[in-house]
Amino acid sequence: MSEGGKVVEGVGTLQGRGTGAPEGTVAPGTTGGGTTGGGPGGRSRPPGDRRTGEPPWLPPSAVLPRHRPPMPNPLAGLVRTVSELGAMVATALESLRLGLRHGVPVGELIDQCWFLVRVTTLPLILVSIPFGMVIALEVGSLLQQIGAQSQLGAAMVLAVVREQAPVATALLIAGAGGSAMCADLGSRRIRDEISAMEVMGVQPLQRLVLPRLVAATVVAILLDSIVSVAGIAGGLYFGTHNLHISASAFFATFGELSQLADIWVALFKAGVFGFIAAMVACYKGMSCKGGPKGVGDAVNQAVVATFILAFFVNFVLTIMYFKFIPQKGL
């Protein structure tokens, strides 16, 4: 081989050593004869002048590709939320279907109803009375400025019966009753009791989930009336002692702005909210995993999800109510 060839071979060997290639190999982009396979931009460059001893053009040393994390999909969270909501609804509907086919466990239903009434009635009353007083304070001060204190009863009916009572019932059932339902079913899941029921041929949805769904719906409808009475009683007390209106004037304006449809839609809202609270709690409890920590996480997620769904469904139902039912005016 000529002297120029030796120079080329030496350069190639040095390049191979510099780039981590084994000795005697040629670096990528070069050939055994000293030519290069390509330069920047994919264009080849001519080899160096052998007569002058100029080394050929050599590509830069190889650089390892940097790890680029995958770009987050902005719709992944929305898709996961929608799919989980669909799973909740599917679980509830399957429980209702099994109830129509095999019946409702009466003993478990009575136990769940009594449990919900026991843990939610007193807190609901204690929440509703000051809430009614706050509404009477806010609305009554405005009515007093325009000389219409007697309309406080009409405003209390609209605020308490139509909006406050169903929402307060949903929040208390979700916070007190729904969390207990989720914890109970979650502990059964991590102890493999639900799997044992499935092995024995017992339907967990029909035996455990269905009574809780029915109990939460029925108790929410019954508690809505108690919350309405407590809230109106708080407004009446504040109105008679601070705004100095008579009880007869307070009750005389009940029918000026309200109508019978307000009571029906309030009871319907309460039933829907109770069903949602039990649906979310039962689904989270039945699908929890990860031991005791998983049960705690499931309870937290159930309460938060119930609050969000309750307020969103309340907004939708209120819009539909104003859209399809004509309102009374003064």
Prediction pTM value = 0.73
Phi/psi of residue 33, nearest 5 degrees: -85, 0
Sequence-distant (≥ 6) Cβ neighbours of residue 211 within 8 angstroms: 104, 105, 108, 109, 111, 112
Strand partners, 30: 36
> Quick one: tokens of 323?
């859209």
> Quick one: tokens of 197?
């029921």
> Do the beta carbons of residue 128 and residue 165 sit within 8 Å?
yes
Q: Is the pLDDT of residue 219 over 90?
A: yes
Distance CA 314, CA 174 (A): 15
How would residue 202 be classed by pLDDT, with cut points 50, 70 and 90?
confident
For the ranges 89-93, 197-201, 267-271, which has the lowest average pLDDT? 197-201
Q: Is the pLDDT of residue 24 over 60?
A: no
Return the C-alpha torsion angle 140, 146, 150, 154, nearest 10: -70
For the ranges 174-183, 292-301, 321-330, which has the lowest average pLDDT? 321-330
Give the pLDDT mean for 144-151. 76
Q: What was the pLDDT predicted at 313?
A: 93
Residue 93 CB neighbour total at 10 angstroms:
11
Q: What is the mean pLDDT of the chain?
A: 79
pLDDT tens profile 98-132: 989 888 899 999 999 999 999 998 988 888 888 88
Give the pLDDT mean for 300-313. 91
Could you tell me the residue ranges of all domains in the chain?
A: 106-324
Give the pLDDT mean for 263-286. 92
